[in-house]
Structure 1
Amino acid sequence: MLYVTLLLCFVLSVIFTPFVKKLAFAIGATDRPNQRKVHQKIMPRLGGLAIYLSFIIGYFVLRPENENSFFILLGSLIIIAVGVLDDVYELPAKVKFLGQLAAAFIVVVLAGVQVTFINLPFGGQLEFGFLSIPISILWIVGITNAINLIDGLDGLAAGVSSIALITISGMALSKGDMFVASLGLIILGSTLGFLIYNFHPAKIFMGDTGALFLGYMISVLSLLGFKNVTFISFIVPVLILGVPISDTFFAIIRRIAKKQPLSAPDKSHLHHCLLRLGYSHRQTVLIIYGMSAAFGLIAVILSQAAMWVSMIILVVVLLILELIAEKIGLVDANYRPILKFFRVIRYANGKHN
């Protein structure tokens, strides 16, 4: 029944998206080109509504049982309302943030979906205590915005979200967590149906309606699936979402370094950097898909590996991430501490020889 519902959500999304496209033009939910945008013509941007409607129908067909269902759906309704209003009226950042906080509050405080402790790598336990609530809310709001930030190219956010959903759902199935697996797979089906219209050249954008909804649901599913476990299992959802999280992290560093507000838009995100290096629109999206799949594979390996192997893999992954960021100028063209360090060592060795 689960896989039949996944297929149903896919078909519904394929059917709904053209109607949502017409609705977007009718109510003015469109995206106009500017110096920061990659597209060159007016585009409808309410596509996330098709994903949401397909998901809701799939949910009520499948009816996965969990005591948190009502609160998760209530939070998603708030997120969708904020997204639709933003796609039509372009809400101020503060209003969107308040909507995200409200949705996160419902799940974390009212439903009690929280990370309360983690088992440390080499023994002992770290109790979060009163910090459980703010940490869990920060996770939901942070991931919600991280997915929104990478929504800059045709099919990018939908594809990266789909890869994350495949990983989360697959790991949930392996653990016997049917609620997380069920939600993950029906969202996956809904997103893949929309991706048919959203992949380059896109006929419709998901807009904030889609990006915020996917970010919210992925953050909640990862909280449900990986809470109160070992340190490595705590790291697993971070790795699954490695691309949006690292892009957001370097964006924060970049804006702090340039003394800009954290909410200031720019054209220095991962996809912008790859485009500047000469990759085509489609090539850039496929490269980031590949990176997301690699992160997902590493997350699966880490969940099965011995502790010392996991720690080595983590260090290597962080080093590679930093080198990529320096090489493509993700923070700044002159930000290259490790590359400069290697250059100094090479120069010293050459001089010595």
Structure 2
Amino acid sequence: MLIWAFIVSLIVALSLTPIIIRLAIRWNIVDKPNYRKVHEKPMPRMGGMAILLSFYIGLVIFLPKELGTIWHIITGSLLIAVVGMLDDKFELSAKMKLLAQILAAVIAVLGGLQIDFIQLPTGEFIYFGALSIPLTILWIVGVTNAINLIDGLDGLAAGVSSIALITITGMALSMGNYLVGAMTLILLGSTLGFLFFNFHPAKIFMGDTGSLFLGYMISTLSLMGLFKNVTIFSIVLPLIILGVPIMDTTFAILRRIIQKKPLSAPDKFHLHHCLLHLGYSHRQTVLLIYAISGIFSIAAVMFNKATLWGSASILVLLLLLIEIIVEATGLIGKRYRPILNFIDSHVMKNKSN
């Protein structure tokens, strides 16, 4: 049944996306070019509606009995999708979108989705107590924004999300979590069906409708599917799987703090912008980021099966990979590279002196 859940959601997305394209044009829900965007002509957006509708149709067909147990995920995702649609049409403020993300995260928490404790390799338990709720909300809001921020090139957010969903599906099923495995497969089929029209040259953008919805679903599904053992390593797994968007978002925050700009201020130093500046084509940049995402996902699978020392070695290698990416692309901005070098070495003097 799992393979049929994937196939049906894929076919539904392939069928719905052309309809959404026509509706977006008719309703004038288009993404207009500006100085920080790559496309040069108005593009229909709100393509995330195809992902969302395909996903919900798949849930109703293949998981009707489980809908009551995941009401909090459905409710939160509906809220986040409605806010995304309003933003695609009217361009809501960053504060309003953040408030909606927090509310959607709270709904998930009220439904029982939270991390109460973790188990250390020594066998000891650490209970988060009152911190479990804010930590869970922070994770959901953080991942939602990470997927939203990486949506800057044709097919980028949909492709990176698909790679993450494939990994979460495999791990959830290996842990015996059928519900999460089925949900991620349905979402994967919906996303790949949309990606057929979104890969460069794109016929439609997913808009905030899609990027916020995907971010929310990936954040909640990763919590549902990868925390069965509640060990210290299970917390690291979703961080590794989502390494690319989390890394890109982290350096975006650092840049804005260093430059004393609002955290919501846009710039052109995201990973995809930096790769384009280095001379890679649009399609080459997207495929290269796919490859990096794939490396992180493979590392997550290896991490899940490795011993304590093996896991530590994988983390070190991933940190080195992040350092190479940052140095090669200038994710934190060339002007502020000395600050990064100082943080790395603790002894180097600022090159501007």
Matched, 1:196 2:196: yes
- Take 2:200 and 2:239, find their aligned partners in 1: how far apart are those partners? 27
Distance 1:68 1:105, change over 3 A: farther
Match of 1:15 in 2: 15
Per-residue deviation, 1:66: 6.7
- Take 1:136 and 1:170, find their aligned partners in 2: how far apart are those partners? 23
Which sections of structure 2, spanning at least 5 residues, go unmatched?
A: 349-353
Match of 2:60 in 1: 60
| TM-score under structure 2 length normalisation | 0.94
- The one-letter code of the counterpart of 1:9 is S
Matched, 1:248 2:280: no
Identity of aligned residues (%): 58
1:1-353 equivalences under 5 Å are 1-63=1-63, 65=66, 68-108=69-109, 110-227=110-227, 229-334=230-335, 335=337, 337-338=340-341
- Take 1:211 and 1:169, find their aligned partners in 2: how far apart are those partners? 19
For residues 39-73 of structure 1, what are the alpha-carbon distances to aligned partners after superposition, in whole Å with 9 as ceiling and x for unaligned? 00000011000011111110000016276411111
Per-residue deviation, 1:319: 2.4
Per-residue deviation, 1:120: 2.1
Match of 1:350 in 2: none
Per-residue deviation, 1:122: 4.1
| TM-score under structure 1 length normalisation | 0.94
- The one-letter code of the counterpart of 2:189 is G
Distance 1:6 1:275, change over 3 A: same
CA contact (8 A) 1:66 1:179 kept: no
- Take 1:158 and 1:323, find their aligned partners in 2: how far apart are those partners? 25
Compare 33-42 and 319-328 and name the one that shifted more: 319-328
For residues 328-347 of structure 1, what are the alpha-carbon distances to aligned partners after superposition, in whole Å with 9 as ceiling and x for unaligned? 110021415559989x99xx
- The one-letter code of the counterpart of 1:206 is M
Distance 1:176 1:123, change over 3 A: closer
Compare 42-51 and 23-32 and name the one that shifted more: 23-32
- Take 2:319 and 2:121, find their aligned partners in 1: how far apart are those partners? 18
> How many residue pairs get matched?
343
Q: Give the superposed CA RMSD.
A: 1.7
- The one-letter code of the counterpart of 2:326 is A
Task: Spell out structure 1 runs of 4+ moving beyond 6 A.
Answer: 339-342
- The one-letter code of the counterpart of 1:144 is T
Which sections of structure 1, spanning at least 5 residues, go unmatched?
A: 346-353
- The one-letter code of the counterpart of 1:287 is L
For residues 91-148 of structure 1, what are the alpha-carbon distances to aligned partners after superposition, in whole Å with 9 as ceiling and x for unaligned? 111111111111111111x211001111124442221110000000110011000000
